[in-house]
C-alpha cells in the first residue's frame, strides 16, 4: 500500500515510503472492518509545513493507527485494544457502521460512535483515545457540527425540530452548546426560517448549512446555502446552487458537492516575490 501527498495549487506531490512489512502485517485482513486514511497537522508547531498521515484500521477487537511523520520520514504504529486504555472500543468495533463523521477541532480528531451516541476522541498531542458523551438530541451524525468555543473549550451546533404556535408551522432550531465538566450546556438557540436544514461543517469562524427546494419544473433542485457567524450567530444567505435531478422527480435527492474550507496552509499559498 502506497500513499502520495499532493499540493493541488502548485501541482506538487510527495511520495511517501511504503509501510514497512512488519507494520503492515499487524493488520489482519480477516479482522479488518474498515480503513480510513487522512492528513493530520505535524508535530512541530514552529514548522507550518510539517504534516502527518494517519491510516486508521478498524479491526474487530482493536484499532490500529499507522502514522507517518514528515519530521523523520518514517512510519510507526499505535495499537489500542479493548483491554487497554480504550476499553470502550470493544462495543463498537463489532458493530456496523462503527466510526463515522470525522471532525477536527482544537488539536483533536472526533468520530461519532453511532450506537453509543458518543464521540471517540484522538488527542494528537498525547496520541491517546478517549470518549465524550453526546446530547440525546444528537443521534444523527449529520445533525451536529463541532466547533472551538471560547477559552479553547469544545462547542457543538445541533439542529432540533420545533413547532411555532404563532405561525402554526414546523420550524428548525439551531442550538449552540459548550462542553463543561463533561456535560453539554446550551448557550444559545436560534430559530431558522426554514422547514429543514442540513449542516455541512464549520471553517473560518462560520458554520455552513443548506436547505433544498424542488423547483416548479419538478426536475431541478435548488440548494440554498446559509452561513452562521460563530461569534454573532447572525444567519445570512451565502449562495444558491441549482442541480438537475437525475431520473426525474421521483428519484432520490443527490447530496450537494463539496465541504467548507477557509484559507490555505503555507505550502498552498501563492509564492511571494
Average pLDDT over residues 31-38: 85
Bridge-partner residues for 154, per DSSP? 148
Residue with grid cell 442550538, as numbered in its chain: 175
Confidence of residue 94 (pLDDT cuts 50, 70, 90): very low
**Average pLDDT of every residue of the chain:** 78
pLDDT at 104: 92
Average pLDDT over residues 239-244: 79
Confidence of residue 61 (pLDDT cuts 50, 70, 90): confident
Most confident listed range (25-29, 175-179, 199-203): 175-179
- Look at residue 152 and give its three-state secondary structure: helix
Spell out the residues 6+ positions from residue 57 whose beta carbon is closer than 8 angstroms to its own: 27, 32, 34, 35, 63, 64, 65, 66
Spell out the residues 6+ positions from residue 253 whose beta carbon is closer than 8 angstroms to its own: 212, 221, 245
Strands 128-133 and 118-123: antiparallel
User: Does residue 187 or residue 80 have the better pLDDT?
Assistant: 187
Residue 26 has pLDDT above 90, yes or no: no
Strands 183-192 and 169-180: antiparallel
89 CB neighbour count, 10 Å cutoff: 25
Q: Cα Rg for the chain, rounded, in angstroms?
A: 21
Peptide bond into 71 cis (omega under 30): no
Q: Where are the domains of the chain?
A: 1-99
Read off the pLDDT of residues 141-159 as tens digits, 9 standing for 90 and up: 457 899 999 888 999 999 8
19 CB neighbour count, 10 Å cutoff: 19
**DSSP letter (8 states) at residue 143:** G
Average pLDDT over residues 61-71: 87
**DSSP letter (8 states) at residue 141:** G
Amino acid at each position: 500500500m502506497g500513499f502520495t501527498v499532493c499540493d493541488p495549487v502548485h501541482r506538487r506531490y510527495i511520495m511517501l515510503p511504503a509501510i514497512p512489512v512488519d507494520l503492515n502485517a499487524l493488520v489482519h485482513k480477516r479482522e479488518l472492518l474498515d480503513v480510513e486514511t487522512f492528513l493530520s497537522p505535524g508535530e512541530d508547531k514552529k514548522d507550518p509545513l510539517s504534516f502527518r498521515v494517519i491510516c486508521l484500521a478498524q479491526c474487530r477487537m482493536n484499532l490500529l493507527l499507522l502514522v507517518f511523520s514528515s519530521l523523520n520520514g518514517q512510519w510507526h504504529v499505535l495499537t489500542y485494544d479493548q483491554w487497554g486504555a480504550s476499553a470502550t472500543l470493544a462495543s463498537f468495533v463489532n458493530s456496523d457502521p462503527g466510526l463515522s463523521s470525522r471532525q477536527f477541532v482544537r488539536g483533536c480528531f472526533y468520530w461519532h460512535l453511532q450506537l453509543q451516541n458518543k464521540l471517540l476522541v484522538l488527542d494528537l498531542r498525547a496520541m491517546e483515545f478517549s470518549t465524550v458523551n453526546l446530547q440525546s438530541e444528537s443521534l444523527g451524525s449529520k445533525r451536529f457540527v463541532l466547533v472551538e468555543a471560547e477559552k479553547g473549550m469544545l462547542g457543538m451546533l445541533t439542529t432540533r425540530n420545533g413547532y411555532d404556535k404563532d405561525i402554526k408551522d414546523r420550524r428548525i432550531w439551531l442550538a449552540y452548546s459548550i462542553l463543561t465538566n463533561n456535560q453539554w450546556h446550551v448557550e444559545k438557540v436560534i430559530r431558522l426560517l426554514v422547514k429543514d436544514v442540513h449542516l455541512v461543517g464549520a471553517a473560518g469562524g462560520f458554520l455552513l448549512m443548506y436547505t433544498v427546494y424542488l423547483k416548479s419544473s419538478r426536475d431541478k433542485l435548488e440548494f440554498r446555502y446559509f452561513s452562521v457567524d460563530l461569534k454573532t450567530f447572525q444567519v445570512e444567505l451565502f449562495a444558491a446552487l441549482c442541480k438537475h435531478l437525475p431520473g426525474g422527480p421521483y428519484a432520490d435527492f443527490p447530496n450537494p458537492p463539496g465541504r467548507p474550507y477557509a484559507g490555505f496552509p503555507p505550502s498552498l499559498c501563492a509564492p511571494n516575490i
